[in-house]
Amino acid sequence: MANTNENSTIGIGWYVHLPFCRTKCGYCDFYSLPTVSSLIPDLVRAIVGEIDLRMPNRPVRTIFVGGGTPTELPAENLDELLEAIGRMAGAAVSEWTVEANPSSASDLKLDVLRRRGVNRISFGAQSFFPEDLAVLERIHDPSHIPESIDAARRAGFDNVNLDLIYGIPGQSMQRWRESLARAIDLGTDHLSCYSLMYETGTALTKFRDQGRVTPCDESLEADMFEATIDVLANAGYVQYEISNFAKPGRRCEANLIYWRNEEYLGVGPSAVSYLDGLRRKNIVDVRKYVNWMAGQPDDLVVESESLTPMARAAETAIQMLRLIEGIDRTHFIAATGFDPISLFADALSETTTAGLVEITPTHIRLTRRGLLLSNYVMRAFLSAVEDENPTRAPTQQFVTLQIEKT
Ligand code: SF4
């Protein structure tokens, strides 16, 4: 496998969704369910079959195996799946990530990952405090986090991500800063720091609506975000996306494919693909997914969307605005055929006047204030195409489904 090359943009990404978790975390709205052991062999066969059926004849640059919790699979099933993925993906892959829960990454499974070519591991740490983990209904204990990182290093991983969450009910600024400090002390190569979201239909949202949890104060949450930027910058991490921070050479290439609105193949139940201008989402039911691959009539695809050129341009703009470098004007024109300065003239006038966006000779990017109000900026950019054709505006949600979260 080639070394990670942050400048390479040749090839597509593959995303593989494994839906099983030991239990459901209260805030999670990704497709996941308690592990059904009897389905695992069929699921592995179905995923391998889907890749074989659908893989485009294009080099594969990144692989991201997420979920769910991929490391919930027994070692022999994980081995079978990863062997097949690696064989079909070929030698052009520069980054191969697998998501793991700190409590399910055994030495045996970590050895399987390394042996099959996985070179990046992403742990869903979320917090170093039991009170926070209890609110989130995570199954791991804070002590599992350093243990799992140690085990990953022993297995040979030199590229380790931790996901952390701020804005948890009851979390103080001091506790958030302490979680950041511990993640830094562990020598983590990459940190994804997301604010807690109250997604429709989750247990946490129900608890909030019932008054059983009190959401974090908005101004405290904004202060936590600003503290994150400053603390991680002082520790040598480069913020390259609103919520993502990396040591030099350690940006997540798989996620950069989403944020640049480039092509990817998604396989497994609920996975989203974006190929040849068509976005499609697989069926959100592991039994139906397995049955489809075994020849049952249920349709694999439950949503598909072919964007108009202008809708695609707007979607590309809001994805690229997430990047700290912003919208590369030359790249944007080459990818979409539109000049962003004229396409988003009204949105730019409004957001630059408000100090949320700045225009450089080469890029359009969020200011520091704009980072705090990015949703407002993105709505302004989307309104440019909604005004043009209200029925064809892209949905930001649809393209951010597969970003790291386990
Ligand atoms: S947050 Fe991650 S570990 Fe928790 S239920 Fe969702 S996918 Fe599973």
Report pLDDT for 9: 65
Expressed in angstroms and rounded, the spacing between residue 24 Cα and the centre of ligand 1 is: 6
What's the gap between Cα 221 and its chain centre? 21
The percent helix, strand, coil of the chain (3-state, each to 5) is 45, 20, 35
Q: In this structure, is residue 124 part of a structural domain?
A: yes
**Domain shared by 16 and 108, yes or no:** yes
Ligand 1 center–CA 233 separation, angstroms: 28
Q: What is the pLDDT of residue 88?
A: 97
Ligand 1, residues 15, 18, 28, 98: which to mutate, most atoms within 8 A of Cβ? 28
The reported pLDDT for the residue numbered 292 is: 83
**Using CA of residue 33, residue 52, residue 106, residue 166, what is the dihedral sign?**
negative
Burial class (CB in 10 A: 0-12, 13-18, 19+), 276: exposed
* Residues in Cβ contact with 285 at an 8 Å cutoff, skipping those fewer than 6 apart: 269
- 248 and 317: one domain? no
- The CA distance from 361 to 347, in Å, is 18
Q: Which amino acid is at 257?
A: I
Q: Which of 27, 29, 30, 192 to mutate to test the pocket of ligand 1 (most atoms within 8 A of CB)?
A: 30
Give the dihedral sign, CA 35/36/38/40. negative
Distance 404 CA to ligand 1 centre (A): 10
Query: Residues 122, 244: one domain?
Result: yes
How confident is the model at residue 295, as a pLDDT?
77
Could you tell me if 45 and 76 are in contact, meaning their C-beta atoms sit under 8 angstroms apart?
Answer: no
Q: Are residues 255 and 315 in the same domain?
A: no
SS3 91: coil
Q: Which residue, 198, 232, 259, sits at the end of a domain?
A: 259
User: Within 6 Å (CB) of ligand 1, which residues are found?
Assistant: 21, 24-25, 28, 30, 32, 67-69, 101, 124, 405-406
Other beta carbons less than 10 A from residue 115's beta carbon: 14
DSSP string computed for 306-362 = E--HHHHHHHHHHHHHTBTT-EEHHHHHHHHS--HHHHTHHHHHHHHHTTSEEE-SS
- Looking at the domain assignment, is residue 108 inside a domain? yes
pLDDT in tens, the chain (406 residues): 544 444 456 899 999 999 999 999 999 999 999 999 999 999 999 999 999 999 999 999 999 999 999 999 999 999 999 999 999 999 999 999 999 999 988 999 999 999 999 999 999 999 999 999 999 999 999 999 999 999 999 999 999 999 999 999 999 999 999 999 999 999 999 999 999 999 999 999 999 999 999 999 999 999 999 999 999 999 999 999 999 999 999 999 999 999 999 999 999 999 999 998 899 999 999 999 999 877 766 678 888 999 889 889 999 999 999 999 999 999 999 999 999 999 999 999 999 999 999 999 999 999 999 999 999 999 999 987 775 544 433 333 333 434 444 4
Residue that is last in its domain, among 227, 259, 291:
259
CATH number at residue 16: 3.80.30.20
| Domain of residue 382, CATH code | 1.10.10.920
Q: Whose CA is nearest to atom 2 of ligand 1?
A: 406
Range of the domain at 322: 309-388
Domain tally, the chain: 2
Cis status of the peptide bond prior to 68, with omega within 30 of 0: yes
Same domain, 363 and 230: no
H or E element, residue 78: helix 75-89
| 334 inside domain | yes
**Do 193 and 330 belong to one domain?**
no
Same-domain status, 21 and 148: yes
Q: If DSSP codes are grouped into helix, strand and coil, which group holds residue 381? A: helix
Q: Does 273 reside within a domain?
A: no
